[in-house]
Amino acid sequence: MTTSNVKFASNRGGCLALTRALFLSIAALVGIGTSACSTKPKDVWVYIDNAGDDALEIKVDDQPAVKAPPGEFAKIVLPPGEYRFHITSGREVLCDLTRNLEKSDRIGVSRKYLFNPDKLTRYQTYEAKYGGSRLGGVMEAGLLSYQKDPQIKRQYVYRKLLKEVNLVPSDAWNDVTGIDYVLTAPPDRVFTKGTARRTVLSRIEPRLYDRYVRMGKIEQPTDEDVDSLDELLDELFAEAL
């Protein structure tokens, strides 16, 4: 194969270029973005999460790529193509598989994958909202006041609350293309003249994940169900980044 550079983005924002006999361009980091190293929309980003108590050693095509400490993640940037991922935790081999990383089908947007090799945790996505107008909420409340059936009102409010969070499937591999912040906290503020939204992916405990799944199956919610869902959302957002 053609010799190429393997680039590592450190948590101090610097770049270290190494030459290896492998056609890879890897930006590896723990817990931060890769603004320090240039990437292209045609590249594929793979987030390998480590929710366990031991460090993960991640090799791509038999070449050492990066280590992910406990509770952190590694981000690997590769050109589209087929690669072999070998991941160990101590002496245990968590996975040894070949994966085809598909090219993004969205202009200017990189393909993103989330890989949870030990499946110890679950994930949610939500929108961080900035700015906006109060009129939207006032108009919605006004329209809802015309509805006289209390059950229809409860269903509307309940379904509205359920849309606050989307659960990521519990598979080891997930395509998370389009998520702005993967396992990274969104900014506290952004500059906008109106309303801005950023999508965020964060971990949640499996028990909360399962509880949310159960609550999503309720078709005729009671007032107690609405209160319980509201409290559950408070827990989910408290756990979010």
pLDDT tens, residue order, the chain (241 aa): 332 223 333 222 222 222 222 333 334 434 434 433 555 668 999 999 999 999 999 999 978 779 999 999 999 999 999 999 999 998 899 999 999 999 999 888 999 999 999 888 999 999 988 876 544 554 465 566 667 788 888 888 899 899 999 999 999 999 999 999 999 999 888 887 778 889 999 999 999 999 999 999 999 999 999 999 999 999 999 888 6
Looking at residue 200, its amino acid is V
Can you give the pTM of this predicted structure?
Answer: 0.78
Distance CA 227, CA 28 (A): 43
Looking at the domain that runs over 4-118, which CATH code has it been given?
A: 2.60.40
* Rg, C-alpha atoms of the chain: 21
Label residue 205 left, alpha or beta by phi (over 0 means left) and psi (-120 to 50 means alpha).
Answer: beta
Cβ neighbours around 26 below 10 Å, total: 27
CATH 2.60.40 residue ranges of the chain are: 4-118
Q: How many CA atoms lie within 13 Å of 187's alpha carbon, on the beta-carbon side?
A: 10
